Structure 1
Amino acid sequence: MNKTTKVYLVLLPILLLAVAGVALYSKFVLNADNVTNAKTGDCVRDAPEDKDEPFRLVACTDAGAKYKVLAVLGTGGGRCADVAGASTSTTTDDSNIVCMGAKDVDPAKAINVAKEGDCVDLDPAEPQRADCASKEADHKVLKRVENVLSFQSDGACHNVPGADKSYSWDWKGSSDISKKVDGMTVDVVLCLGPLPAH
């Protein structure tokens, strides 16, 4: 073995370690705020003027934190519209979908996942689920209808016994992978009946 070969054998592992170190540094330090690294519970800032990275991870105490990550869906793993409290989404570099809701959202009160038998409070600007025994609850979900043609949504509850109101919820978030054609269907119509006064 000549001297040059010995030098290469010594330098090769060092070079490989250096390349691996740069790759890891780039992934975990330089891109630490990339939403590709998002986990449930992380907070995200919104910067629509940044075309390449409109969402970035930030500390939840950061003044710019606008959203909270509610779920990270793999390819074929569902829709953010079905995640309690989700209101927007983005697709990561590795094709996962990050489902986000307002930073202070309470998924336990999210109306988009209300089902038959749940109770709701229609008084807030954004109606929400409520414990049926609470004073806030004013209606019970008698029926949940999904993917209703828009022109039929007003009449979706006409034949539901006891229903005196309906509430329509439609996904408005960005970048969600969905087969629906916006404006043609409504994601969820809840047929609601009044609860006795507490």
Structure 2
Amino acid sequence: MTGHESADFVLFDVDGTLMNAIANQRRMWATWAGRYGLDGDAVYEVALRTRPVDTFAEVAPDADPDECLALLHALEDEDVQIGTYDAFAGAAELLRALRPGSWALVTSNYEHRVRGRFARTGLPVPPLVVDATAVAEGKPSPAPYLRAASLLGARPERCLVVEDAPSGARAGRAAGMTVWTVNSPGPTPDSHRHFPTLAAAAPEILAFSGA
């Protein structure tokens, strides 16, 4: 698909794309890392590009993965209630302007936390959220985006992926979808187009989707 054609569906990453939760995520992972005597910044860099279970395997291979996950769950559930984060400018207006049933969220987080954070920031939640439990492999595997397309009844080549991270862009590209990146200094090797902010991309996303 080229940038001049229309997509039937738009698939959004969440953290870093629609919502700014970087400070919260850094703080949460620093707390988690401290419990295991690890460097918080180093752990966070791994967590940015992998699912939690894969992060544990890389940074704490000798720790009990169930214990690691239980601690992370507790910290993230607490963050949903007390964390400070904001939707990126233009996010709410963009999501409300898209045709119902034409978009979904594809996240490495968990659906109940996404819904809790969206409720606090006023973002609408679509019927479909493909989360960490929906697939066996997370980004950069194409599995999450292919799962979303399948559930929406969409051909991959008719999907536009909106991402901020290299691993997510790689996942979308590997799925055979058009990939646009936002909210980062420059494009990734796998993005077809790049916008410095989500707000800058919003009119193009709406036009591209036929909304």
Larger Cα Rg: Structure 1 or Structure 2? 1
Q: Give the alignment's TM-score, normalised by structure 1.
A: 0.22
State TM-score, norm by structure 2.
0.21
